[in-house]
Structure 1
């Protein structure tokens, strides 16, 4: 089944499905707008007046007039000269999403490309041709020029495509797919290069991973609370109604559902002299709720950006005008990426504190380092150190990228957003967070195992069963790495939310 994308009105759930590998096609109704934009470019050229990007140079060279005989060469040259990226190639799923975002933007008819160019991109997507794009080289204004230039270069037969995971020279891959390298028309090179689709694709990939990790951390947080025989009184709805934050209210509600009916939790009420739990348990609604609100705000920004047109100049077919502006400036994406980074950092920070609490017998009441024989066995001692290392790494990465700027293009482009690397760091941060949450899952499951004869809630018992199907209880010390890897797989796959009952957990990107 193929998703039909209505340009300008694509929900985040569709972008997430494309990132996960879903087939997609543009709504045929967009054809008229695309054709009108292309005709407007022809009419503008016929007038003979200089128009940026159509018959002039680019950036600081915008005052240089280009003769009609050189217009095709101009567009090819901009692609080749701007394909100056460096570093490792981006993951195929993110690049596929970038291609879909660019197609949806071009399909709104404001970029002046020809229908056959959009059809060429659709054929690439359908036949599994993913341009190889180096990760580094964009500063997030005048668009993601270098990354998008690598995409455009592959379309004209230069560079490489990923074909079923194999890197293939672009010209060869096009032949295999029965496609002829594209010859760019006026404005088309610039239209393909200019825009925020690389930054936006990276930010969306980070957002999708953040949502999965957030929901998993709610589950492991509830399981840790049970393992420590913590109180659910801090999750009382009356507390959170008084503060009024939506995310906090929803997070507390989810924790109540996750813990409802737990015999371990009920045991807290008998003979427990503790008056209040540590903040890592008691303040979960406040911290996780704030992260939820932040992620939702970023999701709203990215949904708007994904549906917008962000190249330059923009073509207005109804008045036959080309207007130069600054929609390529990715400041909204940079801010959204910084928000996601902060949320990823804090979710992990809180989870690590719960791990540290569980391994400390003075706080948890459990055996030291969650091992039946402390001393002879080290148990979770170094697993907690690993979590601490990953959290500190995320703290270093969470510094806002958007506060940085460096002038480019001989000071013509004198303020840039740094959205590209701000967004690019999110997936590695989400990977770190998945590992932290995985360690908490192992620790919390181990902690609950010590409460012999007492069951957790139905929801958390399903989570424990899912964990134990992959990782047995830790008795004697063993090679720990495979346990963490297996648990991280459960976190990344969404299996924890599924086992607990996904409907009870807040969503960020919709169904």
Structure 2
């Protein structure tokens, strides 16, 4: 993969995070980085530049002694490497290193170009720094990137692997730290997980539709042309495809279905739209020169600004999490319909055995436990703020927390969908003729091949683990 500072995608980030490709820096990007480094070095001799000739934060008005040399930069990194809590997983760290490399390749940091080569080497050798998770509020991942810089310079050990130490002088310290690469890494990987789950949810909902004898009218083309929100239209079209719907809608068992089926496009649609917007935001962020101050080669100048503020990311993540909560609620309602004989014409709780058998009764409890966790993770982080550094930095986006919560939403949503999938497959096993030759049959066959075929009362934990693991495959049915 060629890193050029301009064309990185979320999918690219995941490929590198999963160690599936190697990277190299494009010659043009290396040239831009060197030109920016030379320009800011010259300008630093002529004017004050934040973090290079001055302190940072509330110390912005304090001038650094000219003879301080590299020691100012080292002090800056050491003092900011104050993260705490759990360590960031290696997969997220590889994503972070790639995003930071791509941002530096955009040519706005003024950091020494040797940093680009060293980051590429770290990625290609599987080396990851030891980074603590807690320490950012959406205005720059200062602790995470300070810890990364200390590993690059050889001052602290790597979590895995390692590269030859690279010298970081005064001009490199803030230039390297001035980024939200760790937050963006977590957000990108979470968004891709949510995308897989949303795509899989079409298949799971379609399987439930078959069991419940749903009405095709709710997905009819004419219905959604009358109110053509993009995500809603896309969802209805996908349901028509999976359910083999052509021509006039076929009647279902009821004149109108419960909301879990009937309102699925209207609820799934906003989530699809929210995720599409989130990808737009992340695509801009991972390909932008966001460092403060920013070196502009075209203007031959250095600008002080607020690109470190990630309100766009925080708001987009809040929106995505809120919409997915609504989609997960519909999954839980469909699960409730699947265990109700009046909807399925099957035994209560899909039970097989002596009177009083429980079947999948417990799945509703599991689903609502996961849904409660999802509901908490979906609460907006953008309603709070922070005032730090003696009042100079008086607003925060908390995009970092929004990204963490997006990961939690993905975990909980996967659990909810797994509950519905286990129940739907069980019901279809009890009445297999319902599937006939529908395209969604492939989804059933994938699950049927690996889920325990036993219908007698037993522990379902293993079924849920398998079902949760299948959702990635179902996303491409």
TM class by smaller structure: over 0.9
Deviations 1:23-46 (A, max 9, x none): 222222212111111111221233
What is the CA–CA distance in structure 2 between the aligned matches of 1:325 and 1:105, rounded to whole Å? 16
In the aligned structure 1, how far is the partner of 2:434 from the partner of 2:261? 20
Q: Which of 200, 205, 220 matches 1:221?
A: 205
Superposition pairs for residues 181-196 of structure 1, below 5 Å? 181-196=165-180
TM-superposed CA distance for 1:293, in Å, is 0.9
Aligned length: 474
1:400-451 per-position Cα deviation (integer Å, ceiling 9, x unaligned):
1112101111111110111101111211210111111111111111112222
What is the alpha-carbon distance in structure 2 between the residues aligned to residue 184 and residue 452 of structure 1?
66
- Classify 1:158/1:359 alpha carbon distance in 2 versus 1 (closer, same or farther; 3 Å): farther
**Deviation sequence 1:444-492 (CA, Å, 0-9, x none):** 111122224443444222211111211133411122111100111111x
Partners in 1 of 2:24 and 2:225 — Cα distance? 44
Q: CA deviation at 1:321?
A: 2.5
Distance 1:261 1:52, change over 3 A: closer
Q: Do residues 379 (structure 1) and 378 (structure 2) align? A: no
Write the distance in 2 (CA, Å) between the matches of 1:11 and 1:149. Answer: 25
1:495 to 449, 468, 473: 473
**Distance in 2 separating the partners of 1:360 and 1:19:** 43
Separation of aligned partners in 2, 1:223 and 1:89: 40
List aligned pairs for 1:253-264, cutoff 5 A: 253-260=237-244
Distance apart, 1:157 and its partner CA? 2.0
Indicate the SS of the match to 1:114: coil
Q: Do the aligned residues in 1 keep the contact of 2:278 with 2:317 (CA within 8 Å)?
A: yes
Q: Which residue of 2 aligns with 1:91?
A: 89
Query: Using the alignment, how far apart are the partners of 2:321 and 2:436 within structure 1?
Result: 33
Per the normalisation by structure 1, the TM-score is 0.89
Q: In structure 2, what is the Cα distance between the partners aligned to 1:70 and 1:476? A: 75
Equivalent in the alignment of 1:136: 134
Matched-pair contact (CA < 8 Å) for 2:215–2:255: no
- In structure 2, what is the equivalent of residue 240 of structure 1? 224
Match of 1:297 in 2: 277
> Corresponding residue for 2:27?
28
SS state of the match for residue 230, structure 1? coil
Alpha-carbon displacement from aligned partner over 1:201-245 (angstroms, at most 9, x marks no partner): 111111000000001111000000101111222111000000011
**Contact kept? 1:228, 1:447, Cα under 8 Å:** no
Distance in 2 between the 1:472 and 1:377 partners? 18
Q: CA deviation at 1:160?
A: 3.9
8 A contact 1:41–1:112 mirrored in 2: yes
State which of 466, 470, 473 in structure 1 corresponds to 2:446: 466
Counterpart of 1:355 in 2: which secondary structure? helix
Q: 1:249 aligns with which of 233, 254, 269?
A: 233
**2:357–2:457: 8 Å Cα contact kept in structure 1?**
yes
Give a deviation string over 1:360-411, Cα, whole Å, max 9, x none: 2233332111112374421111111111111111111111111210111111
Per mean C-alpha deviation after superposition, the further-off stretch among 57-66 and 444-453 is 444-453
Task: Indicate if the aligned counterparts of 2:17 and 2:92 stay in contact, CA closer than 8 A.
Answer: yes
Q: Distance in 1 between matches of 2:359 and 2:128?
A: 45
- The answer for the alignment partner of 1:147 in structure 2 is 144
TM-score by length of 2: 0.95
CA distance in structure 1 between the partners assigned to 2:425 and 2:340 by the alignment: 15
- Structure 2 unmatched ranges of 5 or more: none
Secondary structure at the counterpart of residue 69 of structure 2: helix
Long gaps (5+) in structure 1:
164-172, 501-511
Report the Cα distance in structure 1 between the residues aligned to 2:343 and 2:403, rounded to whole angstroms. 38
Could you tell me which of 174, 179, 183 is aligned with 1:199? Answer: 183
**Where do residues 70-469 of structure 1 align in structure 2 (5 Å cutoff)?**
70-141=68-139, 143-163=140-160, 173-174=161-162, 177=163, 179=164, 181-260=165-244, 272=253, 274-373=254-353, 375-469=355-449
CA contact (8 A) 1:354 1:440 kept: yes
1:343 and 1:160 map into 2 onto residues whose CA distance is 41
Q: Does the CA contact (< 8 Å) of 1:206 and 1:427 recur in 2?
A: yes
Q: Go from structure 1 to structure 2 and tell me whether the alpha carbon gap of 1:277 and 1:160 turns closer, same or farther (over 3 Å shift).
A: farther
Bigger CA drift: 27-36 or 279-288? 27-36
